[in-house]
C-alpha cells in the first residue's frame, strides 16, 4: 500500500531579506510525503523567486500529477522541473533509505550587512573559520575595505564572497584595489563578480582573486572545466534537480579539480537539514553554504541542531490531495 500527500506552506521572512532587487516577505513552498508499508520519506519543493525558472504553480501541478501516479502504483518519471525533481528524489531516497542520516551542520556564516556581527560569530566558531559576505549591494570600494578589514583582523579567516554578477569590470577592479594582495589568497572564492563569464575570468586573471560559478551553472552552454582562476562551483540542489543530477555535477566538478559547495536556495529547515545530509555524503571535505535558516521566522517539521527559532509542526501545513 502506498500513500502520497502534498502540502503547501508559507513562512514569514525576516524583514530585510532582499533577493534580486525584490523584498522576499514570505517563503512559499510545498512538501511531498510518501509512505509505503512502514517506511516514509519527505521532500521539499520550493522554487526560489528570481532564481528558479519554474513558478510555484507549475511546480504544484507537476508535483500533484507525479504524486497521484506514484500513489496508484506507477513508477512515474521525474517531471523535469529542478525544484520538483529535487524534492521528489529526496522523499524517494528517504523512503528507500539511500540518503545517509549523518549531516554536516557546519555552515559558513552569511553576512549581508554589518561586519561587527561577523566578528562575534567568528570569534565563537570552532575549527576552520570560513564566512560568506554578500558584496555588490553597496559601493565596491566599501566592499573591498570590509573584506580587507576582516582578513586583516582575523588571520585564520577564509572568506567566501558573492557579487551575484553585480559589477562592471571597473567596479570589480575598484573592489580588488582595496584588498591587500597579501590577503587575496584567503578569499576562498568570489562568486560571479561580473555580468559575463568572460569578464569574471579576466577579473580572476588580473587580480589573483579566485572565483566561483553559481548563476553560470544554469546557463545552457555551461561546462564543468578547469580554467585559470576558477576554484569552485556552488551547487544549489533546488535549482539543479534530482539528487542523481546533483551527484553528477559534484563528480564533474571534482574530476576537474574544482571544489563543489552544496548551497541553500533558502529552503525551510526540512530542506536545509536534507541539504546538510547531502553535503556530508557528497562533499564531506567542504563546508556547505547553508546559513540561511535565520533569514526566516520559523522552522518547519524538522529542526536544525542548536537553532532557537520557533518550530512549527504539521498543523502549519495545508494538505492538497
Ligand atoms: O551559499 C551560501 O552560503 C548561502 C546561500 C546564498 O548565499 C544564496 C542563496 C540564495 C540566493 C542568493 O541570494 C544567495 C546566492 O546567490 O548564492
Ligand atoms: Mg551565489
- Does the beta carbon of 216 lie inside 6 Å of ligand 1? no
What is the 265 CA–ligand 2 centroid distance (Å)? 9
For position 83, what pLDDT does the model report?
A: 98
Tell me which residue has cell 523567486: 49
Asked whether residue 28 carries a pLDDT value surpassing 80, the answer given is yes
Ligand at minimal distance from the CA of 190 is 2
Cβ of residue 286 lying under 6 Å from some atom of ligand 1: no
String of DSSP letters for 54-91: S-HHHHHHHHHHHHHHHHTT--PPP-S-HHHHHHHHHH
Strand duo 18-19 + 39-45: pairing: unpaired
Model confidence pLDDT, tens digit, residues 240-260: 999 999 999 999 999 999 999
Using 50, 70 and 90 to split pLDDT, how confident is the model at 312?
very high
Residue identifier of the C-alpha nearest atom 16 of ligand 1: 164
Helix H or strand E segment including 115: helix 115-123
Share of residues in the chain with pLDDT > 90 (%): 88
pTM (two decimals): 0.96
Does any ligand 1 atom lie closer than 6 A to the CB of residue 263?
yes
Q: What is the tens place of the pLDDT at every residue in 217-248?
A: 999 999 999 999 999 999 999 999 999 999 99
Active site residue 236: yes
Q: pLDDT, tens digit, for every residue of 272-309?
A: 999 999 999 999 999 999 999 999 999 999 999 999 99
Which of 82, 264, 275 for a ligand 1 pocket mutation test, highest count of atoms within 8 Å of Cβ?
264
Residues 6+ apart with CB under 8 A from 71: 2, 3, 4
Q: Is the pLDDT of residue 121 over 90?
A: no
Q: Are 76 and 92 in contact (CB under 8 A)?
A: no
pLDDT confidence of residue 107:
81
Average pLDDT taken over every residue of the chain: 95
Residue nearest atom 10 of ligand 1, based on CA coordinates: 265
- Nearest to residue 170, comparing CAs of 134, 139, 215, 208? 139
User: How do residues 163-202 score in pLDDT, each as one tens digit?
Assistant: 999 999 999 999 999 999 999 999 999 999 999 999 999 9
Using CA positions, which residue lies closest to atom 9 of ligand 1?
A: 265
pLDDT reported for residue 189: 98
pLDDT at res. 113 = 62
Amino acid at each position: 500500500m502506498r500513500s502520497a500527500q502534498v502540502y503547501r506552506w508559507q513562512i514569514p521572512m525576516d524583514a530585510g531579506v532582499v533577493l534580486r532587487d525584490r523584498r522576499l516577505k514570505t517563503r512559499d513552498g510545498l512538501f511531498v510525503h510518501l509512505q509505503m508499508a512502514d517506511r516514509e520519506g519527505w521532500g521539499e519543493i520550493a522554487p526560489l523567486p528570481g532564481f528558479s525558472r519554474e513558478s510555484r504553480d507549475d511546480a504544484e501541478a507537476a508535483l500533484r500529477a507525479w504524486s497521484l501516479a506514484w500513489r496508484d502504483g506507477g513508477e512515474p518519471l521525474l517531471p523535469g522541473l529542478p525544484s520538483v525533481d529535487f524534492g521528489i528524489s529526496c522523499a524517494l531516497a528517504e523512503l528507500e533509505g539511500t540518503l545517509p542520516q549523518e549531516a554536516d551542520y557546519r555552515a559558513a556564516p552569511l553576512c549581508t550587512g554589518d561586519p561587527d556581527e561577523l566578528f562575534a560569530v567568528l570569534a565563537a566558531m570552532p575549527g576552520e573559520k570560513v564566512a560568506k559576505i554578500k558584496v555588490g549591494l553597496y559601493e565596491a570600494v566599501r566592499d573591498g575595505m570590509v573584506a580587507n578589514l576582516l582578513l586583516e583582523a582575523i588571520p585564520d579567516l577564509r572568506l567566501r564572497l558573492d557579487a551575484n554578477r553585480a559589477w562592471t569590470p571597473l567596479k570589480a577592479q575598484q573592489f580588488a584595489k582595496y584588498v591587500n594582495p597579501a590577503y587575496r589568497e584567503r578569499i576562498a572564492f568570489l562568486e560571479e563578480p561580473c555580468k559575463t563569464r568572460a569578464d569574471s575570468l579576466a577579473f580572476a586573471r588580473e587580480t589573483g582573486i579566485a572565483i566561483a560559478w553559481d548563476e553560470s551553472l544554469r546557463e545552457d552552454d555551461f561546462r564543468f572545466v578547469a580554467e585559470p582562476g576558477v576554484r569552485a562551483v556552488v551547487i544549489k540542489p533546488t535549482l539543479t534537480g534530482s539528487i542523481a543530477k546533483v551527484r553528477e555535477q559534484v563528480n564533474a566538478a571534482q574530476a576537474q579539480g574544482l571544489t563543489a559547495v552544496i548551497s541553500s536556495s533558502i529552503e525551510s529547515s526540512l530542506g536545509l537539514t536534507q541539504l546538510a545530509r547531502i553535503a556530508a555524503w557528497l562533499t564531506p571535505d567542504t563546508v556547505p553554504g547553508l546559513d540561511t535558516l535565520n533569514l526566516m521566522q520559523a522552522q518547519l517539521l524538522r529542526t536544525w541542531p542548536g537553532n532557537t527559532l520557533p518550530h512549527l509542526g504539521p498543523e502549519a501545513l495545508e494538505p492538497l490531495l
